[in-house]
Structure 1
């Protein structure tokens, strides 16, 4: 089976653009829409409600929320409400978070325990249970939803590229979105961790939706597209320092000058940092270029176990997100599938 298509949109654009892109993506055959839940950006659940009211088939959810800035009981109530509004189309994306935590005085403590406790609490509340749980991170004393959810199970997806979190996803999640991993060997590593988690829980492999989340800038001007994405990679790497363990699995070694810039926040300059990144580093994580070039990159990265392919689009200056969303669905995705099929048959 071919992977289903998903779209991840960042909550920095106007809600009118979100609604337009949601309608467009549904028409183009996208099955999922994920909307970022970021502190100090547009409110995630307001945006998702607008998507629910303007679409009929798209599954939708936060991409992703976390156990720290929103208590899992509040998330359960919000998701059950979204599920009611969308007639059973809600999906929950969970991650360990980080953005805005410093400003809010939050700490990301014991993330594995926090995610496990969140999922257990979330599932119990949806089933209509009165939940009392004293966890290492998250607690609840006699909590119960005051209304009956449309469904007693809403799928839970983990977004991660951490080995232990990936293993936990195989154990307790319905799906996983592995981000920016375009090296087949690296994706094999994560699949191995998922299999460990599935085996621990006694689950069959087909019960887990395994997603690959890719970031792409698609434009006929290869240089412009590459510049956009190299800056995106540089920005993400600078913000993630020193949590770069996943780079080992990608086989990526960063230039010493880039590492020195990351170590001193006063030196952070995205444009300069981007110029320090070799092209092969950028292309190990993101897609950039004209549709044919991007399709070739994607075909090499499409692991046989991928069951969902999620796009986070980026536009060149003067370009539009809508054009990237359309090019990915109409040109890149089908071409990549054909290339992969031809390679498998050879």
Structure 2
């Protein structure tokens, strides 16, 4: 099992760089960030961290091809690959539906999966060759070229998947794997891996060679109650991004989360947080003491064939910034250290 973490680039930038440097020293596989307008620019952050790190892999998880043109994503990632000496990766998808709505885009009318698959083909070609002549349903290029060339012979390009089954199968068939948002239960992980396998085998590929990652809301600390309260508080913000089918694979119904959705719809952030019950949070996060975290990963996530855990770390800074609530949990550095000291060894 590989361990990585998500940085939400909302901290003072020097602090974010220090987090990445520490994760590099501790042997984390990767650091990822969402390419979303809500946050500071991940490419600038990772470029700044490149010279201060040696092994950790860096890149977007995910890059929204509905908002950012695929060849420009490829250009940015290839440039980052040169800066890092061949440590860049890229996960693409259509993007965060809430963000798309703020741009006035109706995701239901833009053929999301077909567009992502075509964007992947465009980016794979552009990354591999540096030149592109292409005429598809969504993208057209005539003699486009770039001097932005990756150091890696084949820069990893993954498809972010969410609800399935077609998105998981596409990831297995076409890409180097998937980062799947919010997959916490054995049922959800089994479903994801099964459809990833179907797609890979359809293309004559070995699914076990793919990067199969879960991207999960996370909090760890010596006080179980506080860590779970932190995940419960921040986890409410992720409910609108989850599909009904996805929640049902975690034993959570539409009726369970409707009060959260209604509160957000009314602009009542505190009401949405209050409606996020401990039971829902327990099902839709990985949080608690190191022992509890290890147990959940071993019992619910690892058996399916997931080989990469990506922790979206929740700490006091984020809680206060998003909700103005104070819950005493270790900061990002402290949680990275706990993962290294007490979680990673259980998966050697």
**Partner of residue 213 from structure 2, selected from 195, 198, 211:** 211
Instruction: State the match for 1:100 in structure 2.
Output: 99
Corresponding residue of 2:162: 161
CA shift in 2, pair 1:54/1:294, >3 Å: same
Who is 1:341 aligned against? none
Task: Give SS of 1:302's match.
Answer: helix
Task: Show the counterpart of 2:6.
Answer: 8
In structure 2, the partner of 1:88 is 86
SS in 2 for 1:251: coil
Q: Which residue of 1 aligns with 2:321?
A: none
Is the contact between residue 228 and residue 282 of structure 2 (CA under 8 Å) also seen in structure 1?
no
1:218/1:185 CA distance change after superposition, 3 Å:
same
Aligned to 1:344: none
Which deviates more from structure 2 when the two are superposed, residues 136-145 or residues 51-60? 136-145
Q: How does 1:1-346 map to 2 (within 5 A)?
A: 3-98=1-96, 99-108=98-107, 109-128=110-129, 130-163=131-164, 164-237=166-239, 239-240=240-241, 243-255=243-255, 258-263=257-262, 265-304=264-303, 305-316=305-316, 317-318=327-328, 319-335=330-346, 337=347
Secondary structure at the residue paired with 1:211? strand
Please list every run of 5 or more consecutive structure 1 residues that lacks an aligned counterpart in the other structure: 339-346
Matched residues in 2 for 1:4 and 1:263: separation?
37
Cα distance 1:142–1:283, how it changes in 2: closer, same or farther (>3 A)? same
Contact 2:220 2:289 in 1 (8 A): yes
Q: 2-side partners of 1:234 and 1:113: how far apart?
A: 30
Seen in structure 2, the aligned counterparts of structure 1 residues 125 and 261 have a Cα distance that, compared at 3 Å, is closer
TM norm structure 1: 0.88
- CA RMSD across the alignment: 2.2
Displacement of 1:180 in angstroms is 2.3
Whether the 8 Å contact between 1:110 and 1:137 is mirrored in structure 2 is no
Secondary structure at 2:95 match in 1: coil
In 2 relative to 1, CA 187–12 (structure 1 residues): closer, same or farther, beyond 3 Å?
same
Scaled by the length of structure 2, what TM-score is found? 0.87
SS in 2 for 1:178: strand
What is the CA-CA distance between 1:110 and the residue it aligns to?
Answer: 1.2
Counterparts of 2:340 and 2:254 in 1: how far apart (Å)? Answer: 32
Distance in 2 (CA, whole Å) between partners of 1:77 and 1:125 is 8
Distance 2:294 2:270 in 1: 26
User: How many residue pairs align between the two structures?
Assistant: 332
Secondary structure of the structure 1 residue equivalent to 2:62: coil
Q: Distance in 2 between matches of 1:214 and 1:261?
A: 19
Uncovered stretches (5+) of structure 2, i.e. residues with no partner: 317-326
Q: CA deviation at 1:124?
A: 1.1
Q: Residues 266 and 183 of structure 1: is their aligned pair in 2 closer, same or farther, counting only changes over 3 Å?
A: closer
